[in-house]
Amino acid sequence: MSTQAFTRLDGFPRQRLGLLPTPLTPAPRLARAIGLPDLWIKHDELIGFGFGGNKVRGLEFLLADAKAKKATVLVTGAGAQSNHVRATAATAAHGGLESIAVYWGDEPPVAQGNLLLTRMLGGQTRFTKNYDRMHVDLAIAEVAAELRTAGHHPYTIPRGGACALGVLGHVLAARELYLQCESLGLRPSAIVLAVGSGTTFAGWLLGSALLGAAWQVEGVTVSRPPSEVRVRVAALAAEAAQLLGMPALLSEAEVVVHEGFIGEGYGVPTADGEAAIRSAARLQGVFFDPTYTGKAFAGLTALAAAGRFAGRGPVIFLHTGGEPALFADPPHGRK
C-alpha cells in the first residue's frame, strides 16, 4: 500500500456527506442465477445522502473546494435523469449554495425521477434543446460566464464529476472496500462496475493500484465506446495521481472495459438490462436502475456465462445507485 499517497489524500479538504462505509453484502441467490460461486454487492446506493449513489463520494471533495473558493452556486449538467446532477443539487442545498443544472435536449412535459428530485432540492434547471451531449459542456461554461457577469461566484463541475478531485472520492472507496474485505477474510478476484463518465472507474483503478490490491477492476461501458473509455479513464487517473504526488500508475492498455450492453444509446433501456433489474429485485430484494447498474449487471451475467470468472475467487458488483430513474417514463415490459 502507498502510505504516502493515502496520507496525502486523507489531508485533502473534504466536506463529509455520505454515511460511510457503505454496506458490503453477499448475494447468493443472484450468484446462483448467473452461475457465480460467490457474488457480493457493494451498496453505494445506500450512501445515505441525496437519495444515494456513488457520485456523493466525489462531491465531498468538490464541495470543500467550492467553499474554499467562496462559490455561491454550483453549475453542472447532463441528461434529465442524471444521478450526478441530482446529487449535486443535494450537495448545494446541504452546503447553503444555489445550484443550476444544464440538461441536453428539450424539457419533458412532466418532471419525474431525478429531474423531479433536483427541482425539489432547489436546483434551477435549463435545457439546451440540443441532443448532442457534448453541447452541455459548452452550456455549463456559458451559464457560469452569465453568472459572473451578474456578480455571482459559480463553481463548475463537469458532467459526471469527471475531474481529478471527483476521482479522489472513488480512490477512498477502493480503500474502504479493501478494509471491509480484510475484516471479513474475503479475497475478491474482481470488482465489476458500470462505466459512464469514467470518474468512478478511474478512482477504483487508481485506488486499487495504490493499495496493491490483488483484485482486477473491470468496467462495463453504458455510454461510450471502449477506446474512448480507455483514454478518458487513464487521463483522469493520471490527473488524480498527480494531486497525490504520484506518477501516472495506469496505462490505457490496463483499462479492462467490456462492451455490447449499451443498446440503442446511453439512458435507453435494454431488454437484458430490464431482465437484470427484475432478477435482482425478485431474487435478492435489490433495485438496479435502467441506465447504469441494470446494464452493467446484464454485462456481468453475460461475462459469467462465458466463463470469464471460472476458477476465480469472489466477484464484487459495485452498486452505484440510480434508482430514481425507475420512476421516470417506465419502459414497456417492466412488470
**Residues 61/166, Cβ–Cβ less than 8 Å:** yes
**Residues 195/222, Cβ–Cβ less than 8 Å:** yes
Task: Specify whether 82 is catalytic.
Answer: yes
**Bridge partner residues of 78 (DSSP):** 103
Q: In this structure, what C-alpha cell is assigned to residue 54?
A: 456513488
**Residues 104/223, Cβ–Cβ less than 8 Å:** no
Q: Which of 82, 197, 208, 279 is catalytic?
A: 82
Rounded to whole angstroms, how far apart are CA atoms 196 and 83? 11
Q: If phi over 0 gives left and psi between -120 and 50 gives alpha, with beta otherwise, what is residue 201?
A: alpha
**Residues 203/170, Cβ–Cβ less than 8 Å:** yes
Rounded to whole angstroms, how far apart are CA atoms 297 and 223? 15
Task: List Cβ neighbours of 25 (8 Å cut-off, separation of 6 or more).
Answer: 40, 41, 43
Q: How far is CA 210 from CA 26, 181, 314, in A?
A: 26, 16, 21
**Bridge partner residues of 74 (DSSP):** 99, 155
Active site residues: 82
